[in-house]
Amino acid sequence: MTRADAKQAGSVATDAAAPQTAVCVDFGSTWTKALHVDLVSGEVLGSASAPTSLHEVMEAYDACLATLTEKDARAATAEVLACSSAGGGLRIAVVGNEELVTAEAGRRVALSSGGKVVAVVATAGREAESDLGATLSFTTPDLVLLTGGTDGGNREAIVSAARELAAAGWRGPVVVAGNRDANPEIDEILADVPHVTCDNVVPKIGVLAPESARAAVREMFLEHVIGGKNLSSRADFRRIVQGATPDVVLQGVETLAEVLGEDVVVVDVGGATTDVHSVVRPDPEAEHVREEVVAVTPVTRTVEGDLGMRWSATTTLEAADHSDPSLAESDLSGEVEHRRNHPDWLPRTEQDKDIDELLARIAICTALQRHAGRSRVVLSPQGKVIERTGTDLRRVGVMIGSGGVLRHGREGIEERVMRWSLRGGWQLPEAPLRAVDSDYVLAAVGLLARSHPATARHLATHLTPSR
């Protein structure tokens, strides 16, 4: 698909009664970024960023708005849409029945909902009741995702987990996404706890249905978490925030895949984590693959908390393949330790930039391997079958890199750091087109996707790689 074709697919209809521009804001824990977008033409009118103050995050928004207004006065009266990962983002604890079924399903749904999974508690098969209260107190989640059982199956496991949750004194929000036959009883048990019930994430074995739970997590994030973090004393903060940043970015990736008509993977390299978002259409060879207890969904997100450019620099280096010639004769322990201890440090010399690119390449390759998993031939009662773990990325046509190291990197950085070996059975992209989200467009695409879908599709064409 050419860039011209993509722009045609994302053309924006003119509506004189509609708002003319929008300011799309991402409140990050370190930086707040804003993009001013023309809702009629779909073009970017300006961008700005400012340090985030966790005492009052709207100060960063005010600074961004002042910069955007200097470039175009319409920014002062534009529609404002925002997402937030400030204050640690959305922290989710998953409580499920079986570790390999409903707890794993809950973990995947939590990640695809934009959350950072801080605890996974499986309630089945325990010799004694675990101290759920202590786990929640130690991990400090913002929200609990309660799963368990298939629809029409045993209700007792999820009902018992709900009782344990209430007895533990948990009073934060709960999303209930298990056996729907148990919902009336759970409603009574959690009567004094803010909670919402939704469709079962595992309605039957081998099926993962995340959509209803994702919507419920988003609802609880906006209603209870945003205000509860005390990030701002201003009412307009709660009014403009539409969701958690990773959830919004994943929506942006879905829109991009729709516009391009391609499977897409996005790797976002941050200071502490490296996130992978993928939209991969069902594999036509799926019937030859061993059926999984928890199905793989087309839209997937994983978060690697030990891979990053600053806070996680030391563990990133530890994850490297030390047979790599780039590492064979180098002792980088002092360099990565300095980055870990000074997370706001910026590279100045060419050597500094070389080391940052090396860390970025390690983070990207390792995160992609964990997201994609491997494929291998195994024997089964049906004969030889292909067993796969993770999300098969081999047919991905477009790969987008995001994060400061890529956005502010030297020319051609995407070709140097977004590369890997296809040896070892890893299901990595074989021949993707590469691009960098230099203007921080994906978050804005996700923010606009629901209320201004045509504008979002047009904006997504900014990320169309040249062939």
Which CATH number goes with the domain that contains 102?
3.40.50.261
**Which strand ranges, in their side-by-side order, compose the sheet holding 241-244?**
44-51, 31-38, 21-27, 79-84, 241-244
Whether residue 189 is contained in a domain is answered as yes
Same domain, 210 and 284: no
Confidence label for 68 from pLDDT (cuts 50, 70 and 90): very high
pLDDT category, 226, cuts 50, 70, 90? confident
What does the pLDDT average to over 454-458? 96
Q: Do both 205 and 316 map to the same domain?
A: no
What is the mean predicted confidence (pLDDT) over 236-250?
A: 93
Judged by average pLDDT, the poorest of 27-36, 146-155, 371-380 is 371-380
Which of the pair, 39 or 388, is modelled with greater confidence? 39
Res. 128: pLDDT tops 70: no
What's the domain count of the chain? 2
**What does the alpha-carbon distance between residue 179 and residue 202 come to, in Å, rounded to a whole number?**
8
**Segment 255-265, tens digit of pLDDT:** 999 999 999 99
The identity of residue 248, as a single letter, is V
Among the ranges given (137-151, 188-202, 271-285), the one the predictor scored with the smallest mean pLDDT: 271-285
Q: Are residues 152 and 285 in the same domain?
A: no
Please, what is the Cα angle at 55 between 51 and 59, to 5 degrees? 50
Contact 359, 313 (CB under 8 A): yes
In a domain, 457, yes or no: no
Q: Are 169 and 256 in contact (CB under 8 A)?
A: no
Do 336 and 211 share a structural domain? no
Tell me how far CA of residue 220 lies from CA of 113, 208, 398, 460, in angstroms. Answer: 11, 21, 33, 28
Cβ(319)–Cβ(305) under 8 Å?
A: no
Residue 160 is assigned to a structural domain of this protein? yes
The residue with tokens 């959690």 is 190
pLDDT at residue 293, rounded to an integer: 46
Looking at the domain assignment, is residue 255 inside a domain?
A: no
Does any domain span residue 322?
Answer: yes
- Residues 113, 178, single domain; the answer is yes
270 and 136 share one domain: no
Two tokens, residue 337 = 């330790």
Of 202-211, 306-315, 430-439, least confident by mean pLDDT is 202-211
The pLDDT value given to residue 104: 84
Name the DSSP class of 386. Answer: E
Mean pLDDT computed over every residue of the chain: 87
**In the predicted structure, residue 401 carries a pLDDT above the cut 60:** yes
3-state DSSP assignment of residue 313: helix
Q: Is residue 287 part of a domain?
A: yes
| pLDDT at residue 354, as a whole number | 94
| Residue 102 CB contacts under 8 Å (≥ 6 apart), including other chains | 96, 147, 148, 149, 178, 201, 202
Q: Which amino acid is at 439?
A: D
> Of the candidates 187, 185, 181, 180, which has an alpha carbon nearest to the alpha carbon of residue 209?
180
- Residues 204 and 268 reside in one and the same domain: no
Q: Which of 199, 221, 243 is the last residue of a domain?
A: 221
| Residue 64 confidence class, pLDDT cut points 50, 70, 90 | very high
Of 1 and 285, the one with more pLDDT = 285
- DSSP for 37-85 reads EETTT--EEEEEEEEPPTT-THHHHHHHHHHHHHH-GGGGGSEEEEEE-
pLDDT in tens, 402-437: 999 999 999 999 999 998 888 888 999 999 999 999
Range of the domain at 435: 261-439
pLDDT tens profile 358-379: 999 999 999 999 999 887 666 5
Domain closes at, from 221, 239, 273:
221
User: Do 289 and 399 fall into the same domain?
Assistant: yes
Q: Determine the length of the chain.
A: 467
283 and 421 together in one domain: yes
Q: Give the pLDDT confidence score for residue 122 in this predicted structure.
A: 85
DSSP per-residue codes, 417-429? HS----GGGB---
Q: Same structural domain for residues 267 and 343?
A: yes
Asked if residue 255 lies in contact with residue 460, where contact means CB atoms within 8 angstroms, the answer is yes
Tell whether 324 is covered by a domain.
Answer: yes
- Given pLDDT bands bounded at 50, 70 and 90, which one contains residue 237? very high
Average pLDDT over residues 237-251: 93
- Band of pLDDT at residue 452, cut at 50, 70 and 90: very high
Q: Are residues 198 and 335 in the same domain?
A: no
Signed CA dihedral, 342, 343, 349, 352: sign only: positive
* Same-domain pairing of 192 and 273: no
Structural domain includes residue 22: no
